[in-house]
Amino acid sequence: MNPPDRFATDLPPLDPAIAAAVRQRWDAKTKPLGSLGQLEALALQVAQIQGREAPAIGSTHVFVFAADHGAARAGVSAYPQDVTWQMVMNFLAGGAAISVLARELGCSLSVVDAGVNHDFEPAPGLVDAKIAHGTASYLEAAAMSAGQCRAALAAGRALALESPADCLLLGEMGIGNTASASLLMHHLTGVALAECVGPGTGLDAAGVARKLELLERASRRHGLGRGDADALAVLATFGGFEIAMLAGCLIGAAQARKVVLVDGFIVGAAALVACRLAPGLERHLVFAHRSAEPAHRRLLAELGARPLLQLDMRLGEGSGAAVALPLLRLSLSLLANMATFESAQVSRAS
């Protein structure tokens, strides 16, 4: 793929008139004002994303982006790198959590090989978008070149734009990607690295301490800014191919007025990158849940995001996004189908 000279980040405007119209619709329903709480805000947000007063979701698709990280070989994860490609096979065979959830919810599912260190045979549901067989180790050099970074962003954006689905659920798989997400968060927000690093796939206290020491070394090596660092430079230095494709997909989904459910900490880090590249993007994103990864709470706060759920999940794969999908569907059904005081001939509060 030949990356464009400029990665397109323009977003459609959110019309305040649509928001006002949806508020009037909610206020006319047979209920006390605001009594459906966050469900009302959710339907209003979807209406603005879609640019219509009667929001609706038809087809829904799950994208799980998978890639390997060179730094994983240094021990930033509790699991060996081979787990990435093995889990891709599990997704395709229908045995992973997101596979089960997608079936139960009636969602189609694709696994995107963004840069797994394995050669897959063609298979139904597998999208070959491989940039390389994993990134370089950011402990030694930049994880990817500027060209690779832009190619990954463009590939993710293209997948969103080309998808016929109204709603996208985004997940990831990549041994070592919580470490990458921690570095992205640290350099793009200025939050202390110790507050951005957690157990990931299950490191014990000693493992977390070793992970933090490795990431501090990587951070010092590259000498990037903190808080106001260039998002593309930070992404190329520390990001995985799956995180870059996720960032591009988030932007593409917003440009196509698709509703997108953001999963946990790693997809949240991709959203942070995407929001730096496309200011205002956070208003186009629905944040599904707050993960048990300790830094996720702070990351959501940095994005001004209010997640729909808190279930102590930390699996990834898009599982939290899938669990939140019924709430999205219910909020739109309530807006569409509840009676009004007038139609039901119910007296309003005095």
For the domain that residue 27 is a member of, what is the CATH number?
Answer: 1.10.1610.10
Q: Please indicate, yes or no, whether residues 206 and 162 belong to a single structural domain of this protein.
A: yes
DSSP class of 73: G
As a whole number of Å, the CA-based R_g of the chain is: 20
Question: Phi and psi (nearest 5°) for 95?
Answer: -100, -10
Q: Is residue 1 part of a domain?
A: no
DSSP string of 179-231? HHHHHHHHHHH---HHHH---TTT--HHHHHHHHHHHHHHHHHHT--SSS--H
Structure tokens at 221: 């090596």
Give the whole-angstrom CA distance, residue 327 versus residue 152.
Answer: 31
pTM for this predicted structure: 0.96
**pLDDT digits 0-9 by tens, 106-140:** 999 999 999 999 999 999 999 999 999 999 999 99
| pLDDT confidence of residue 297 | 97
Single-letter amino acid, residue 192:
A
Same domain, residue pair 83 and 110: yes
Domain co-membership, 146 together with 27: no
CB contact at 8 A, 269 and 1:
no
What pLDDT does residue 7 have?
A: 80
Q: Is the pLDDT of residue 3 over 50?
A: no
Any idea what the CATH number is for the domain that residue 313 is in?
3.40.50.10210
The verdict on 45 and 116 lying in the same domain is: no
Query: pLDDT grade, residue 170 (50/70/90)?
Result: very high
Percent of the chain with pLDDT over 70: 98
Cα–Cα dist 150/239, whole Å:
12
| Domain assignment present for 111 | yes
In a domain? residue 237: yes
Is the pLDDT at 5 greater than 80? The verdict is: no
Rounded Cα distance, 113 and 159, in Å: 12
Q: Does residue 263 carry a pLDDT above 50?
A: yes
Q: How many domains does the chain have?
A: 2
Asked if 66 and 42 sit in the same domain, the reply is no
Whether residue 349 lies inside any domain: the answer is no
Q: Looking at the structure, do residues 130 and 39 belong to the same domain, yes or no? A: no
Would residue 264 count as lying in a domain? yes
The answer to whether 92 and 47 have CB atoms below 8 angstroms apart is: no
User: Which tokens in the block code for residue 179?
Assistant: 């470490």
Q: Are 91 and 64 in contact (CB under 8 A)?
A: yes
Mean pLDDT, the chain, whole residue set: 95
- Domain match, 188 and 44 both: no
CA distances from 213 to 165, 187, 208 (A): 42, 16, 9
pLDDT reading at 14 higher than 90: yes
Structural domain boundaries enclosing 21? 16-55+334-344
pLDDT at 61: 98
Separation of alpha carbons 276 and 57, rounded Å: 28
Residue 51 corresponds to which tokens in the numbers above? 């640019």
pLDDT for position 4: 41
pLDDT for the residue 201: 77
Contact 63, 110 (CB under 8 A): yes
Residue 1, pLDDT > 80, answer no
Same domain? 108 vs 245 = yes
The H or E element spanning position 37 is none
pLDDT band at 28 (very low <50, low <70, confident <90, very high): very high
Tokens 């990665």 belong to: 7
Instruction: Output the CA torsion sign for 47, 48, 52, 58.
Output: negative
Q: Which two tokens stand for residue 120?
A: 């897959």
Q: How far apart are the first and last CA of the chain?
A: 64
Least confident of 119-128, 224-233, 279-288, 320-329: 224-233
pLDDT above 80: residue 283: yes
From CA 300, how far away is CA 290, in angstroms rounded? Answer: 8
> For 41-92, what is each residue's pLDDT tens digit?
999 999 999 999 999 999 999 999 999 999 998 877 878 999 999 999 999 9
7 found inside a domain: no
pLDDT (0 to 100) of residue 69: 97
- 342 band by pLDDT with thresholds 50, 70 and 90: very high
Q: Residue 200: pLDDT band by 50, 70, 90 thresholds?
A: confident
Residues 322/101/249/302 CA torsion (nearest 10 deg): 30
pLDDT at 6: 61
For the cut 80, the answer to whether the pLDDT of residue 340 exceeds it is yes
Q: 142 and 230: one domain?
A: yes
Is the same domain home to 242 and 186?
Answer: yes
DSSP letters, 235-286, are HHHH--HHHHHHHHHHHHHHHTT-EEEE-SHHHHHHHHHHHHHSTTGGGGEE
In a domain, 68, yes or no: yes
- Could you list the active site residues? 317
Same domain, 41 and 109: no
Domain-embedded: residue 201? yes
Q: 239 and 162 share a domain?
A: yes
